[in-house]
Amino acid sequence: MYGGLRKLTHIKIAPSILAADFGQLQQEINVIEKHSDELHIDVMDGHFVPAITMGPVILKSLKTTLPVDVHLMVFNPEKYVEAFAHAGAKNISFHVEATQKPGEVIAAIIKAGCTAGIAINPETPIEKVMMLVPDVDRIVVMSVRPGAAGQLFIPSVLSKVMFLRKMTTKDIEIDGGITADNVKKAVDAGANIIVAANAIFGQKDRVKAIEELRNGFAP
């Protein structure tokens, strides 16, 4: 099935502001907005992952026409769903490793008016998300260990992407270590939402960096 991915869906670029300059965050978004498909917001609580990033107050202060994809890297994600939905999230994804009641989290996200995604860490067996795929809108395959931008891509996760693409036409998002040099492997495996942090905001010319990513998987 994944061999026909380009016929099924558009490949989306979702810049992650995790690597942006937080001192001029709105300006950073303004630069990439017209050249991107989604805006990716990484939320970290200092417990599920060591780092602490941003809350719904920051998201609410940002202005963008892009759909906002909020990635909750937090324990007890259900506690944060409503606040991020009200702050402007269109999609909210959470980690299968972060809750004992994923069905309740999915229900909360849908009730809040957002689409739902389930994320899986590189070391977590794919079986952990299989039963949840019918209930979500996207599956997020982490290609680094969550918690920091600038890590190296873990190629072994591509087998998860390929397996998922064979069973679903839903969105498959890949997140972590994506560059112009490896993005084609992710797309060929079946990913159709490409999250990039350092590959975009770590470059002097953000727009050129996005173009290079697109050229990386162009047929």
Show the 3-state SS of 33-69.
HHHCCCEEEEEEECCCCCCECCCHHHHHHCCCCCCEE
User: For this structure, is 137 an active site residue?
Assistant: no
Residue in 42, 45, 69, 171 annotated catalytic: 42
* 3-state class (DSSP) for residue 16: strand
User: For this structure, is 42 an active site residue?
Assistant: yes
Residue in 45, 69, 171, 175 annotated catalytic: 175
20's CB contacts (< 8 A; 6+ apart) are: 28, 29, 201
Q: Which residues of 29-66 are buried (b: 16+ CB within 10 A; e: fewer)?
A: bebbeebbbbbbbbbbbeebbeeebbebeebeebebeb
Residues classed as catalytic: 42, 175
